[in-house]
Amino acid sequence: MSAEDPGFKAALHEARQGSSEGGVPIGACLVSAEGKILGQGHNMRIQKGSATLHAEISCLENAGRLPASAYQGATMYTSLSPCDMCTGACVMYKVKRVVIGENKTFVGGEEYLKSRGIEVIVLQNEECEALMQKFIKEKPKEWYEDIGEEQ
Amino acid sequence: MSAEDPGFKAALHEARQGSSEGGVPIGACLVSAEGKILGQGHNMRIQKGSATLHAEISCLENAGRLPASAYQGATMYTSLSPCDMCTGACVMYKVKRVVIGENKTFVGGEEYLKSRGIEVIVLQNEECEALMQKFIKEKPKEWYEDIGEEQ
């Protein structure tokens, strides 16, 4: 598991896309046990006025309706440590592994994922962190809104 | 807190609406600390081919972008015990209370909600349960898909 992993590259591509749109620059990609990309997406809070389309939710939504078996052995790649909602989505669909771009900006439900038997890998990728730091500096209000925190 | 509560009535109304559309008959309603309905919605898996629009997510999405303060003291009403994803959404937005129509059909993240300081009330409403039992009998595959379980 490294920054060269196709699933991670797709998640980072999505984060960059979110950044270029002026949105919260977080991307995600869901890869099946067989290595097929099932879906990918990025945070759409600003672009769609959405309170729920975090990167992982956007990714799962773009993957579309799938039977439970499709998520078995799957890996969710996300550029930032997942919030409680996205953590819960990974738990509900029982993905095998969550690969996180960075968790210096924000630490979400990593311990809860582990407690539910999901492997967690943190890459501490500098570009993921730089995208977030730039966004938070420019739009702090939107960032805190995105994670349900008071500024 | 009873079946006459406006928030619960709105959630039940949404569940009935979902049923009339042939969808997973689960509804939700978010009510502010001041008693104002911030949003309501129902499961849209079948109607929109959505893997993430569970009732509570649909409700939060319909409530739109809100600052963290809007969720303070809020109550999420849902006709069925919330799955891990919807549990996580309630945790992330820090609602004060989750009122559940019934948990005989399915028990979701109730203990986790409590562990995170969120009050949980279960009404055991017969109509909520009847809607689910009818749906599961008619469309078992869709129900198991909705909660990420093998049939």
Do the Cβ atoms of A32 and A40 come closer than 8 Å? no
The 3 state secondary structure assigned to A3-66 is: CCCHHHHHHHHHHHHHHHCCCCCCEEEEECCCCCEEEEEECCHHHHCCCCCCHHHHHHHHHCCC
What ipTM does the predicted assembly reach? 0.97
Residue B151 has pLDDT above 90, yes or no: no
Active-site pick, A14, A56, A127, A142: A56
Element (H, E) at A87: helix A84-92
Instruction: Single out the residue of B58, B30, B71 nearest to residue A148, CA to CA.
Output: B71
Q: Does position B114 have pLDDT exceeding 80, yes or no?
A: yes
Amino acid (one-letter) located at A86: C
The answer, for B91 touching chain A at a CB cutoff of 8 Å, is yes
- Note the pLDDT tens digit of each residue in B34-57: 999 999 999 999 999 999 999 999
Listed by number, the residues of chain B in 9-48 with a beta carbon closer than 8 Å to a beta carbon of chain A are 45
Q: Catalogue all structural domains in chain B, each as residue range(s) with its CATH number.
A: 6-147 (3.40.140.10)
Test the B interface: residue of A24, A40, A52 with most B CBs within 10 Å: A52
Decide if A144 touches B, using CB distance below 8 A: yes
Pure H helices in B1-151 = 6-20, 45-48, 55-63, 68-71, 84-92, 110-115, 126-138, 140-146
A 10 A CB-CB count for B115 gives 11
- The DSSP output letter for A78 is E
Mean pLDDT of B25-29: 98
φ, ψ of residue B117 in degrees (nearest 5): 85, 15
Q: Name the minimum distance, in Å, from the CA of A32 to any CA of chain B.
A: 15
Query: Do residues A54 and A85 lie in contact, with contact meaning Cβ atoms separated by under 8 Å?
Result: yes
Chain segment A40-85, per-residue pLDDT in tens: 999 999 999 999 999 999 999 999 999 999 999 999 999 999 999 9
Handedness of CA B134, B137, B141, B147 (dihedral sign): positive
Which of the four pLDDT bands, split at 50, 70 and 90, describes residue B12? very high
Residue B128, pLDDT score: 98
Residue B42 token pair: 């129902």
Q: How confident is the model at residue A2 (pLDDT cuts 50, 70, 90)?
A: confident
**Tell me, what's the pLDDT at A110?**
98
Please state, in angstroms and as integers, the Cα–Cα distance from residue A48 to each residue in A78, B30, B39, B64, following that order: 20, 20, 17, 10
B50-79 pLDDT, tens digit each: 999 999 999 999 999 999 999 999 999 999
> For residues B85-98, b (16+ Cβ closer than 10 Å) or e, as one string?
bbbbbbbbbbbebb
Q: For the residues B127-138, what does the mean pLDDT come to?
A: 98
Closest approach of chain A CAs to the CA of B127, in angstroms? 25
How far does A6 lie from chain B, in Å, by closest CA?
23
| Average pLDDT for A115-122 | 98
Report CB contact under 8 Å: B63, A51: yes
Tokens of B21: 């559309």
Contact A51, B64 (CB under 8 A): yes
Does the reported pTM lie above 0.95?
Answer: yes
Question: In this predicted structure, what is the pLDDT of residue B1?
Answer: 73
Mean pLDDT throughout A113-118?
98
Q: Does A74 touch chain B if contact means CB atoms closer than 8 Å?
A: no
Q: What is the DSSP string of A110-131?
A: HHHHHHTT-EEEE---HHHHHH
| Average pLDDT rounded to a whole number, residues B76-86 | 98
- Catalytic annotation present for B111: no
Are A85 and B88 within 8 A, CB to CB?
yes
Judge whether B111 is closer than 8 Å to chain A, CB to CB.
Answer: no
CB contact under 8 A, B61 and A52: yes
Residue A151, pLDDT score: 81
Among A146, A145, A102, which Cα is nearest to A127's? A102
Q: So what's the pLDDT on residue A107?
A: 98
Q: Is the pLDDT confidence value at B2 over 90?
A: no
Q: What does the pLDDT read at residue B14?
A: 98
Greatest extent of chain B over all pairs of C-alpha atoms, in Å: 42
Helix (H) / strand (E) containing A138: helix A126-138
Mean pLDDT rounded to a whole number for chain B: 97
How many Å lie between the alpha carbon of A29 and the closest alpha carbon of chain B? 15
Given an 8 Å threshold on Cβ–Cβ distance, is A88 in contact with B89? yes
The torsion defined by the Cα of B118, B123, B124 and B128, in degrees rounded to 10, comes to -100
